[in-house]
Chain A
């Protein structure tokens, strides 16, 4: 396949940035999207150009490090798929593909397609945990957990912290990410003691990081590679209201 890429290039936070066009030839349909970029980068290096910087690590859809807006859609058009798991067989020969970084004020661009998502860590710091120091835990079977609860908690816990939800949201809201963690822990007996204080602290931190409010557009869950459902946000709001009513 032969492709035309239009890629966002920005040398650093103070650079205004611009789209640059590249031609890539002989792309195999079995390549992953990142492998296609690898091939381009190898060429750029040899030609003495600056290769395109992008984040990635596991290339298995689990670490959450990769993320690009491809043809206007966070992680590309294929649903429930991270950028690294996207394969070229889903593109047409001769296609033109635009590639941009996550765009959201709380995720400033570091370079090219690399953004700073440390705001997510600070939301977790605010309360996304169970306070249980190593060595203090009771036997794992001392508290049975209903299978339905364990499964639902797991589904929420699969969030990989990639930030696609924020990039897709017209308001730049981090509600889906925050709600996923709140829901995971509030569904389990172990998460109950800190349930309301956790919801309050995390939501307040999310707001103070400058993420926008949720207006239920559902764009987040549509691009989420792990299919985190929108009803986690309802769960978060309910816990948050209860916490504030206290």
Chain B
């Protein structure tokens, strides 16, 4: 795939000065909007997950006129609902040495030195307010007998800073945001549009001014105009077809905005989660995560011998390889996700994997049950054990769980500056949809933190600075009409093909290709192969896809086809990005770039930058680099040994 290189991005709008003062400075410097004017300012928020739900609610509370959209039947079902393990915050309630600085440090290091220091520091600062806000809303976090909040440890950290609500932290936090949102809907500041899918962004006179959406029940194409647009549409892990994401997660909102001019940053940074239930058959429609919190008490192992077919209980202690504890003695089973995932792949590649096809490793609770008792283990992880049993038919109290890595999260996303504004003025991007805070690898329990930091605290301040210059007046009719025509055209084209293969069958094939060639381990050869295959498959899609039904009704096949079409284009950019970044970093492992022990080897001389891609149409994408500088956390090769 061709590409060219364009000018570097130099200004990220982060204030200068000591890192601890930057957010304060920015808040003070941000222009304020006169309360009387806020009602006249319209903001569109796409998505009602932790990021979008909290943003829409907060903007409503501030008095803006908000329209909120989601594709589900109610905002409470956004994918954030599925987050299990917890949310980080630098409260240091345990007095175990945590601090804002330590959370900042851990996040920059965990991200393998590919995130911006200014943003990450702000995230750590704001983290403490999130817990306060959630508790005040009635989020029932786990508590200790004294009535204070309980915490646990998560991968990549040596302090206990993860707040949780049993295995349903995302659900409880999202319900908090959802309830705040419903309160604003009742107050009339937010107008909710459920079962509506954003299909294009309206850009007029250089500003984001609205969206084109499809009413998924009637099929009607609608235009909604505003003074600013916020995308909180989540991650794009479903490009791999099989992932832990909800089935509807897609890239359409951000991809179409990318086509309209928003740069896409680090698309190749994908997180593969080490503890998921392995694939059971061809029909598999999604993968289920087993929370990382299980690694607090579960021990990961495989048989020492290859192709050992014995039942796990028949394998004596000395013939087991607790490989994480062996290779990484100081972090053991709690190494960051990218490291744990690759280690699992390595032992399976050696032929020591367990279960069907040898694609699995054991996560064993025998010792924890002996140490703490079955009751204590059940209290902590009961719902996860139940979920496991429901899916696999095996009881993890008696036999070890079988787990394998699966696609889970995308660190890449639309490029944003310190204000969370994309390269299109008036287009803000928050939550998993942006690329901002996690570098090349996200630490566990940090996505919930980022989504809520963006939505409750950061965006409501920074968007005010932009809106202070508004309202921006009438929107050019021509720009709106153009966007609408593009949307209708695409739908008509999809319906017109009338071929013989379903959208899902193409999606599955694309996903397999991405997993094989752009998954846990990438090579120049695999990526070149993918870049050859994707356009071929896409061409076949446009010649042979079968979309039943019409555009004027609830049509789930049409919805799916539109999303798959965008996944093709995104997949190509991901592979290109992975090819150009010939170093290994975080979740991006290039086999050519590893040290003698097989650990990821960064190349800071050539790659200490963000790769922000501009959509280039016929001439291919244009790469803009944003150099990353580390004033506070010294760049070192990560070591969890």
Judge if A76 is at the interface, Cβ distance under 8 Å. Answer: no
Known A-B contacts A129-B137, A137-B133; the reply to A63 vs B387 at CB < 8 A is: no
Cβ contacts under 8 Å, B248 to chain A: 57
Interface contact B149-A49, CB-CB below 8 Å: no
Cβ contacts under 8 Å, B247 to chain A: 56-59
Judge if B457 is at the interface, Cβ distance under 8 Å. Answer: yes
A117-B166 Cα distance, complex, nearest whole Å? 27
Interface contact A117-B74, CB-CB below 8 Å: yes
- B454-486 interface code vs A (CB 8 A; 1 in, 0 out): 001100100000000000000000000000000
Judge if A18 is at the interface, Cβ distance under 8 Å. Answer: no
Interface contact B548-A60, CB-CB below 8 Å: no
Q: Which of B135, B136, B141, B144 contacts A136 (CB 8 A)?
A: B136
Cβ contacts under 8 Å, A134 to chain B: 54, 57-58, 61, 133, 180, 456-457, 460
A57-B244 Cα distance, complex, nearest whole Å? 11
Interface contact A125-B72, CB-CB below 8 Å: no
Q: Which of B77, B82, B138, B554 contacts A53 (CB 8 A)?
A: B554
Cβ contacts under 8 Å, B146 to chain A: 144
- B118-146 interface code vs A (CB 8 A; 1 in, 0 out): 00000000000101111111101111111
Instruction: Give, as a whole number of angstroms, the nearest-CB distance from A229 to chain B.
Output: 16
Interface contact A38-B138, CB-CB below 8 Å: no
Interface contact B72-A57, CB-CB below 8 Å: yes
Judge if B607 is at the interface, Cβ distance under 8 Å. Answer: no
Interface contact A31-B179, CB-CB below 8 Å: no
Which residue of A12, A57, A137 has the most chain B CB atoms within 10 A of its CB atom?
Answer: A57
Judge if B343 is at the interface, Cβ distance under 8 Å. Answer: no
Judge if B391 is at the interface, Cβ distance under 8 Å. Answer: yes
Q: Which of A49, A58, A125, A146 contacts B79 (CB 8 A)?
A: A58
A85-B389 Cα distance, complex, nearest whole Å? 10
Judge if A89 is at the interface, Cβ distance under 8 Å. Answer: yes
Instruction: Give, as a whole number of angstroms, the nearest-CB distance from A224 to chain B.
Output: 15
Cβ contacts under 8 Å, A59 to chain B: 246-247, 285-286, 288
- B533-565 interface code vs A (CB 8 A; 1 in, 0 out): 000000000000010110001101100000000
Number of B residues whose C-beta is below 8 Å from A? 79
Interface contact A60-B136, CB-CB below 8 Å: no
Known A-B contacts A150-B142, A153-B140; the reply to A57 vs B77 at CB < 8 A is: yes
Known A-B contacts A124-B179, A154-B172; the reply to A141 vs B149 at CB < 8 A is: yes
Known A-B contacts A140-B135, A158-B171; the reply to A133 vs B147 at CB < 8 A is: no
Q: Which residues of A, 30-75, contact B by the 8 Å Cβ criterion?
A: 30-32, 34-35, 38-39, 42, 44-46, 48-51, 53, 55-65
Instruction: Give, as a whole number of angstroms, the nearest-CB distance from B397 to chain A.
Output: 17
A150-B134 Cα distance, complex, nearest whole Å? 14
- B593-614 interface code vs A (CB 8 A; 1 in, 0 out): 0000000000000000000000
Cβ contacts under 8 Å, B186 to chain A: 125-126
Interface contact A42-B505, CB-CB below 8 Å: yes
A16-B156 Cα distance, complex, nearest whole Å? 57
A136-B57 Cα distance, complex, nearest whole Å? 14
Q: Which of A12, A62, A153 contacts B168 (CB 8 A)?
A: A62
A139-B171 Cα distance, complex, nearest whole Å? 22
Which residue of A28, A31, A121, A140 has the most chain B CB atoms within 10 A of its CB atom?
Answer: A140
Judge if A188 is at the interface, Cβ distance under 8 Å. Answer: yes
Tell me the interface secondary structure of chain A in the complex.
loop
Instruction: Give, as a whole number of angstroms, the nearest-CB distance from B559 to chain A.
Output: 11
A50-B553 Cα distance, complex, nearest whole Å? 12
Interface contact A63-B246, CB-CB below 8 Å: yes
Instruction: Give, as a whole number of angstroms, the nearest-CB distance from B190 to chain A.
Output: 10
Instruction: Give, as a whole number of angstroms, the nearest-CB distance from A65 to chain B.
Output: 5
Known A-B contacts A30-B280, A65-B72, A65-B73; the reply to A140 vs B131 at CB < 8 A is: yes
Instruction: Give, as a whole number of angstroms, the nearest-CB distance from B230 to chain A.
Output: 15
Interface contact B283-A38, CB-CB below 8 Å: yes
Interface contact A130-B548, CB-CB below 8 Å: no
A141-B248 Cα distance, complex, nearest whole Å? 38
Q: Which of A87, A114, A141, A154 contacts B165 (CB 8 A)?
A: A154
Judge if B504 is at the interface, Cβ distance under 8 Å. Answer: yes
Interface contact B557-A51, CB-CB below 8 Å: yes
A28-B73 Cα distance, complex, nearest whole Å? 30
Cβ contacts under 8 Å, B178 to chain A: 124
- A113-148 interface code vs B (CB 8 A; 1 in, 0 out): 010111011001110111111111111110111110
Interface contact A188-B61, CB-CB below 8 Å: no
| Apart from A63-B79, A81-B390, A157-B172, 15 more pairs, CB < 8 Å | A28-B281, A28-B283, A30-B280, A44-B548, A57-B72, A58-B79, A60-B82, A121-B185, A132-B136, A145-B143, A147-B145, A153-B138, A157-B140, A158-B171, A160-B171
Name the 7 nearest CB pairs between A and B, nearest first: A144-B147, A137-B136, A129-B179, A154-B140, A137-B132, A125-B186, A140-B135
28 A-B pairs with CB atoms under 8 Å apart are: A34-B285, A45-B546, A45-B548, A46-B502, A48-B548, A58-B77, A58-B79, A58-B81, A63-B246, A65-B72, A85-B391, A110-B554, A121-B75, A124-B178, A125-B185, A130-B136, A130-B179, A134-B456, A135-B456, A137-B137, A140-B91, A144-B143, A147-B147, A150-B143, A154-B140, A154-B165, A160-B171, A190-B137
